[in-house]
Chain A
Amino acid sequence: MDIAKMTATELGRKIKAKEISVREAVEAVFDRIKSVEGEYNCYVTLCEEQALKKAEEVQKKIDDGTLTGPLAGVPVAIKDNMCTKGVLTTCSSKILGNFKPTFSSEAVLNLEKAGAIIIGKTNMDEFAMGSTTETSFFGPTKNPRNPEYVPGGSSGGSAAAVAADECYYALGSDTGGSIRQPSSYCGVVGMKPTYGTVSRYGLIAYGSSLDQIGPITKDVTDCATVLEAIASYDAKDSTSVKREPEDYKFTKALVEDVKGLKIGIPRTYFGEGIDEEVKEKVLAAAKVLESRGAIVEEFDLGLVDYAIPAYYIIASAEASSNLARFDGVKYGYRTEDYDGLHNMYKKSRSEGFGAEVKRRIMLGSFVLSSGYYDAYYIKALKTKALIKKEFDKAFEKYDIILGPAAPTTAPKLGESLSDPIKMYLGDIYTISVNLAGLPGICVPCGNDKNGLPIGVQLIGDCFSEKTLIRAAYTYEQSR
């Protein structure tokens, strides 16, 4: 029995049944980490000692019946942009290289309440800016399916750790596709919930109006289970949405039933730029759902191309402001030599941030600066309104929109960063979902000829995670 290969819920069941102890679960995953982490670099920080200590506590609570949930005792990896009290939280940046938060993010607290054991903090693109996990100050993460390739990003460490069995499940965050795209590249399940479903309190902001935390897991069952544990209304996050209690019971949607479900496939998603193999596998997934009783149709989704420019204006503008607090005064990196306040600011920030982060801060500062605000920022917010309207129209007809998560499979390491715009174009299928605040799930649907995974993305209307889970589960069971 290879414990590390188990899914989270499988392991949870065995822990509950006393077939495996919590300590064994922790040790198994650290054994696995020790053997492959050197190659994949999924983690920025590992907390073996704390995890073993926590395992004792959790085991006791399981034994005395205080912890009974499906994730009790199951180790988890957390993306390094979520605050963990007393544990380094770096955003894979030099500027936060020594930062220990004084509080834990709400999503992490929710997991701890469910009996989760944090084993470490996963690598990511610096401040979640990137699609390959190559912008990390701590070096790139490799794709466990083929280490010559990137795992995607920005939650590349989380997706790779799940794929490499270096954790049982992980949390990621998704601002423009950062959960779904690496899940697609690594062949795991990843979900970005409706904006406001998981509290952002403790998530170090990139684009506040777009950021959302979600699960990255080995299968759909885990995905629903983890989402159920982390989703909650949080009075500390003003943008948190209070949903009906029944609406949070995502595991109830783990049923094989897509009869009569209306699935729309946007023709525009399969035009120029898409890899033939990706197209083929994604459409095959649609066929599977059709064979199970779903009604599948092609349709025209408008404004697809405009999502990327609108996104880069909004996200960069918000980022330029969100990242202003990293200034060498309160926490994080301060340059050694400086001459006066402004020189200290400039040197600390210039030395502390990497190239991609600086690029976006510059762009964001520019589009908000005097004389450009209306032309860029307001224009982008209007475009966002129009994109939202396009989705509203689509969801009048369809329950789900089906498409790829990325136009290609994972690129090779070192091939992406030289041409930023080309890299940004890779986000075309994921970004509009964030702009409209919608939920999206990515499920593996095959491999290309090099053995690299391909994912199918299901997009739902706001608050329709259950529909997505039902369809994804049905598909997964039918493969």
Chain B
Amino acid sequence: MANVITDETIEYVGILAKLELSGEEKEAAKKDMGNMLNYIDMLNELDTDGVQPMSNVFPVKNVFREDVVTNGDDSENMLANAPEEKDGFYVVPKTVE
């Protein structure tokens, strides 16, 4: 069964992923994603009823930190990477009207 990716889907996924594709890129993305999904559909051949989805490969559990302050202030170095900084804040376009 062929997967057809519509313009709406590409537009929607673009909103989720915060990617803005050019017209050409959109066409390529439609084709690539359709092909990839057709390929991935191969998994439907597998009977996975009753199989537990495996997230962690090893049965590692209960890894904790104690509630003790260990970090100092490294704001200067961290903010040095910011595209725009002001008075110790990161600056972003206004988020409210």
Contact = CB atoms under 8 A, between A and B. Distances in A.
A and B touch in the complex (CB under 8 A): yes
B32 A342 contact: no
A312 interface: yes
Q: Could you tell me the dominant secondary structure of chain A's interface residues?
A: helix
B4 interface: no
Nearest to B96: A341
Give 7 nearest A-B pairs by CB, closest first: A381-B53, A437-B57, A331-B81, A334-B83, A385-B54, A382-B48, A346-B20
Interface of A: 98-100, 102, 195-196, 209, 235, 238-239, 241, 303, 305-306, 308-310, 312-313, 320, 324, 327-334, 338, 340-347, 349-350, 353, 355, 358-359, 361-366, 369, 376, 378-386, 388, 420-421, 435-437, 462
A358 B17 CA distance: 9
A306 B42 CA distance: 7
Interface string B37-80: 00110111010100111111110100101000000001001101
B19 A361 contact: yes
Given A238-B63, A359-B32, A366-B9, A306 B43 contact: yes
Contact of B93 (A102, A333, A340, A359): A340
Interface of B: 9-10, 12-14, 16-21, 25, 28-29, 32-33, 35-36, 39-40, 42-44, 46, 48, 51-58, 60, 63, 65, 74, 77-78, 80-84, 90, 92-95
Given A100-B81, A238-B63, A342 B43 contact: no
B58 A196 contact: yes
A329 B21 contact: no
Contacts of A365: 13, 16-17
Nearest to B53: A381
B53 A382 contact: yes
A100 B58 contact: no
Q: Which of B51, B80, B94 has the most CB of A within 10 A?
A: B51
Given A366-B9, A462-B58, A346 B18 contact: yes
A212 B87 CA distance: 39
Q: Which of B9, B17, B33, B63 has the most CB of A within 10 A?
A: B17
A342 to B, nearest CB: 7
Nearest to A420: B32
A421 B92 contact: no
Contacts of B36: 312, 363, 420-421
28 contacts: A99-B81, A102-B81, A196-B58, A241-B60, A306-B42, A308-B39, A309-B39, A324-B18, A329-B83, A329-B90, A329-B92, A338-B93, A346-B20, A349-B20, A350-B20, A350-B21, A358-B21, A359-B33, A363-B36, A366-B9, A366-B13, A381-B55, A382-B48, A383-B43, A386-B46, A420-B32, A421-B39, A437-B57
B55 A341 contact: no
Contacts of B84: 334
A266 to B, nearest CB: 18
Contacts of B95: 341
Contacts of B44: 379
B37 to A, nearest CB: 8
